[in-house]
Structure 1
């Protein structure tokens, strides 16, 4: 209510004309007159002298105009600041991502992004735990695999492949597994879970052919560190199942050998997940689009 009539009053005061003020505001002269009259009544002050030839400010009107002009200028500045945020991304982005994927893939790209957009600040918390974005005040999360939270918006960024592999020295000593059942005869290097993901591909062996399955495995090593599992595999301690970003370079160099390729599970999707918001912040949208472009 306190804003009603302010723009109309300032415009009429500056043009010294109800007609020109109404034309500038895009409303009728009668509406301008009603708004200013209501403003004067609310303030119990006469703001304008009205004659058939001109409009002028009263003494009280001049004081009120000076303050109102400053208020409207401040509003214009506020709107311009918001507009600048839309056209020039800036401000803080708080995100979370899995530890190793964040270290190896995500944060180097975000650093490149910040070189281009130096008015953006990023706070990243790397964790393999699923974090509540709303409770934690996060703008964005990077998640891998199937999504269960339907209250969030998501955009696919990329995919990853899990490889089962071992060092040539281990295979020379213990043989090469050619079927899933063969893994029971091998030392499997475990992460945080005691099962590996596969897909059944042989209808002669399983009626679940073509379906994903979890196969329980065992071995002498269990680490919650992918890097340590890679090191164990490279030293010939056993067979490991890890995402591509851990083992690709060793597969390319021949230090590790890919196994059971026919049973490899489908690629897992990598997602950008963010709270449901029809008006996604431009800086968040820009970052998500950038990551989708880079993580091919």
Structure 2
């Protein structure tokens, strides 16, 4: 038995709170994870995890052991990286996540161009609109929009920003009138997407409006099409609507109340040694996201 046996299995189980999710993360069987963690507990003569049919959780000893194991693994990875990446080249496999529409439109094409110049790298991209636990699910990098970190294990680098526009088609406005202020929104048909609230500025502060309407879809492009057809008002990010605003197919409304720009962030787990593959890609995105 080697000194490291069970350590990575224990960390993965503790961070995912599941033997099966830990197995998926490490690419092994659930029985392997359970067996290695049990052997580790036997070697230590202490219980590290509480087990139930639904989840596992840390004991007090397990919580203390987890923090020390994380430091050991980070130091080990830093040592390996310092030796194998001393030429500064980006190499190895990178796991990236981003929201679906923004990822498809901007991030994936940029990553593809980056990979063309870094043939020693491979990548897995998970496009999802849920907030991924980067540490727990083993991701190297996320691109997020307007979200607060709320996690001391993460670092965020600002890449660019985006605007949000309230807009409607000229035909809709001709039939229903142009809203003169935020109080007018309640009498208009609103096209509902994934956002529960629309945000605006008023009196130097951020205010929220809960849109109501008879049309809803979880696709921004579908919301855009409905707005083009004159079905109601929508609030969408700039990359959806700017071509239609420029052509006159849509009209921007309540400009003095447009909400503050949202930041676009590269987010990655905190490590003292940032690997070249992550550092190079973050630098590339920072240079090109705002131009996409």
Taking structure 1 as the reference length, the TM-score comes to 0.68
How many angstroms apart in 2 are the aligned matches of 1:192 and 1:80?
41
How many angstroms apart in 2 are the aligned matches of 1:81 and 1:210?
49
1:109 paired with 2:103, answer no
Partner of 1:191: 193
Partner of 1:281: 275
Task: Identify which of 160, 163, 167 aligns with 2:162.
Answer: 160
1:180 paired with 2:186, answer no
Determine if contact 1:194/1:218 at 8 Å carries over to the other structure. no
Alpha-carbon distance change, 213 to 150 in structure 1, aligned in 2, over 3 angstroms: farther
How many angstroms apart in 1 are the aligned matches of 2:152 and 2:145?
15
Partner of 2:206: 212
1:291 paired with 2:292, answer no
Per the TM alignment, residue 254 of structure 1 is displaced from its structure 2 partner at its CA by 1.0
Partner of 1:137: 138
- Deviations along 1:238-264, one digit per CA (max 9) or x if unpaired, are 010001111111111111111111001
1:232 paired with 2:234, answer no
Per the TM alignment, residue 85 of structure 1 is displaced from its structure 2 partner at its CA by 6.3
- Deviations along 1:23-60, one digit per CA (max 9) or x if unpaired, are xxxxxxxxxxxxxxxxxxxxxxxxxxxxxxxxxxxxxx
- Aligned to 2:135, the other structure's residue is in SS state helix
**Root-mean-square deviation over aligned CA pairs:** 1.8
Between structure 1 and structure 2, the one with the greater Rg is 1
- Aligned to 1:87, the other structure's residue is in SS state coil
Alpha-carbon distance change, 168 to 88 in structure 1, aligned in 2, over 3 angstroms: same
Alpha-carbon distance change, 79 to 127 in structure 1, aligned in 2, over 3 angstroms: closer
How many angstroms apart in 2 are the aligned matches of 1:125 and 1:239?
31
Determine if contact 1:197/1:265 at 8 Å carries over to the other structure. yes
Partner of 1:149: 151
How many angstroms apart in 1 are the aligned matches of 2:136 and 2:101?
24
1:223 paired with 2:224, answer no
How many angstroms apart in 1 are the aligned matches of 2:206 and 2:260?
8
Alpha-carbon distance change, 80 to 124 in structure 1, aligned in 2, over 3 angstroms: closer
Partner of 1:97: 98
- Deviations along 1:199-248, one digit per CA (max 9) or x if unpaired, are 11xxxxxxxx2110111121111111101000100011001000111111
- Deviations along 1:146-172, one digit per CA (max 9) or x if unpaired, are 312232111001101111011111111
Determine if contact 1:86/1:282 at 8 Å carries over to the other structure. no
Give unmatched runs, 5+ long, in structure 1: 1-77, 201-208
User: Would you say how many aligned residue pairs link Structure 1 and Structure 2?
Assistant: 211
Per the TM alignment, residue 134 of structure 1 is displaced from its structure 2 partner at its CA by 1.2
Give unmatched runs, 5+ long, in structure 2: 1-78
Partner of 1:270: 264
How many angstroms apart in 1 are the aligned matches of 2:191 and 2:119?
43
